[in-house]
Amino acid sequence: MSKFRIIEKTAIVGMTLLFLGFQLPSISEALWFNMVVDVRKAIVNGDSGHLVLTAAIWSIVSMLQGVFLLLGTTIFLGNLVEKISMKLGKVLFQGFSYIIINLVIQEYFFFEIELLTNILAGITTLFLINYVVTEKGYYGRNFVLSLQVFFAFQWLNIMPMLTFYNFGVSDLAGSIKIVSEYLGSTSVLNFIGLAFFISLLFSTLITTFLFLTNDRNIAIAKENYEKQLTLDAMHAKIVQTRVYEEIHTITHDLKTPLVTIRGLNSLLALSKEPEKIMEYTERVDNAAEKMSEMISGFLYEKKRRVVSTEEIIDYVRAQIPLEDESQKITFDFDEHLPLLYINKVRVSRAIINVIENAILVQTIKPIKKIHIRVYDNNGYLIIEIEDNGIGISKSQMEKIWEVGYSTKATTGLGLAFVRKVIEDNNGTVSMSSEENEGTLVKITLPNETMVDQEE
Partner 1 sequence: MSDMKRILVIDDEPDIVYTISEICKFAGYEVVSANEGLKGVELLKEHNPNLVIVDYHMPKYDGLSTVKKMREIDDTVAIMVLTVDERQEILEKFMLVGATDFSLKPVKAPDLISRINVNLQINSMQMKNKEQEQSVFVEKGISSATLQMIMTYLEEQKEDQTIKEISKGVELAYQTVHRYIQYLIDNNQVELVSVYGKVGRPLNYYRLIK
**Would you tell me which residues interact with partner 1 (CB under 8 A)?**
251-252, 255-264, 266-267, 269-271, 276, 280, 283, 286-287, 313-319, 322-323
Q: How far is the CB of 264 from partner 1 (least distance, A)?
A: 5
- Closest CB to partner 1 among residues 189, 350: 350
CB 436 within 8 A of CB 364: yes
Q: How far is the CB of 224 from partner 1 (least distance, A)?
A: 41
- Biggest alpha carbon distance in the chain? 138
427 Cβ contact partners less than 8 Å away, ≥ 6 residues apart: 443, 444, 445, 446
Q: How far is the CB of 271 from partner 1 (least distance, A)?
A: 6
Q: Which of 71, 72, 69 is nearest to 114 (CA)?
A: 69
- Closest CB to partner 1 among residues 156, 381: 381
CB 372 within 8 A of CB 331: yes
Q: How far is the CB of 369 from partner 1 (least distance, A)?
A: 17
Distance CA 358, CA 320 (A): 11
- Closest CB to partner 1 among residues 171, 279: 279
Q: Which of 433, 339, 449 is nearest to 394 (CA)?
A: 433
Q: How far is the CB of 312 from partner 1 (least distance, A)?
A: 11
Q: How far is the CB of 273 from partner 1 (least distance, A)?
A: 9
CB 377 within 8 A of CB 445: no
| Side chain identity at residue 232, one-letter code | D
- Closest CB to partner 1 among residues 1, 269: 269
Q: Which of 348, 342, 433 is nearest to 383 (CA)?
A: 348
**How does strand 368-377 pair with strand 428-434?**
unpaired
- Closest CB to partner 1 among residues 299, 322: 322
CB 149 within 8 A of CB 121: yes
Dihedral pair phi/psi, residue 148, rounded to 5°: -65, -45
- Closest CB to partner 1 among residues 342, 372: 372
- Closest CB to partner 1 among residues 158, 329: 329
Q: How far is the CB of 348 from partner 1 (least distance, A)?
A: 12
Q: How far is the CB of 444 from partner 1 (least distance, A)?
A: 22
| Side chain identity at residue 137, one-letter code | G
- Closest CB to partner 1 among residues 272, 302: 272
- Closest CB to partner 1 among residues 240, 286: 286
- Closest CB to partner 1 among residues 30, 270: 270
